[in-house]
């Protein structure tokens, strides 16, 4: 079975930066689009960013555009989320997930189309 493991979360002050990592193993992830989602207390899990299996295209939710950058290294089976200019509104548990459809032509933001969810990593931004 495939699995993904997130890391890199922590406590940071407003305006700070963090780099989240997602290590994928057990299955072929290099042919799958990868996404980052987040879930704040009392809220539904929401889409943050995604990258196509080739790394050629990315997509971001409006609230993080210009601040977050998603990237991947298919040789190392890693996905990254560089987060800058963090605000308390970014506080959440961040999850990495793989699109269930190999080589999907476009990026989907639909949560239930993603499989192989990790356990998440907590990001807390203090004011």
Between CA 5 and CA 49 the distance in angstroms is 17
Residue pLDDT, tens place only, 55-70:
999 999 999 999 999 9
Q: What is the pLDDT of residue 95?
A: 98
**pLDDT exceeds 90 at position 117:** yes
Between CA 39 and CA 55 the distance in angstroms is 25
**pLDDT exceeds 90 at position 20:** yes
**pLDDT exceeds 80 at position 1:** no
Q: What is the pLDDT of residue 45?
A: 97
> What Å distances lie between residue 28 and 34, 76, 108, CA to CA?
12, 11, 19
What does the block give as tokens for 13?
């002050």
Between CA 111 and CA 103 the distance in angstroms is 17
Q: Which residues of 39-59 are buried (b: 16+ CB within 10 A; e: fewer)?
A: eeeeeebebbbbbbbebeebb
- CB of 8 within 8 A of CB of 20? yes
């Amino acid at each position: 079975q495939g699995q993904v493991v997130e890391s890199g979360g922590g406590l940071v002050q407003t305006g700070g930066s963090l780099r989240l990592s997602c290590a994928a193993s057990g299955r072929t992830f290099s042919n799958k689009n990868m996404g980052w989602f987040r879930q704040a207390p009392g809220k539904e899990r929401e889409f943050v960013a995604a990258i196509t299996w080739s790394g050629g295209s990315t997509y971001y939710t409006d609230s993080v555009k210009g601040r977050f950058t998603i990237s991947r290294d298919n040789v190392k089976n890693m996905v990254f989320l560089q987060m800058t200019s963090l605000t308390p509104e970014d506080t959440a548990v961040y999850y990495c997930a793989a699109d269930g459809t190999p080589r999907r032509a476009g990026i989907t933001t639909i949560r239930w189309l993603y499989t192989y969810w990790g356990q998440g990593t907590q990001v807390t931004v203090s004011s």
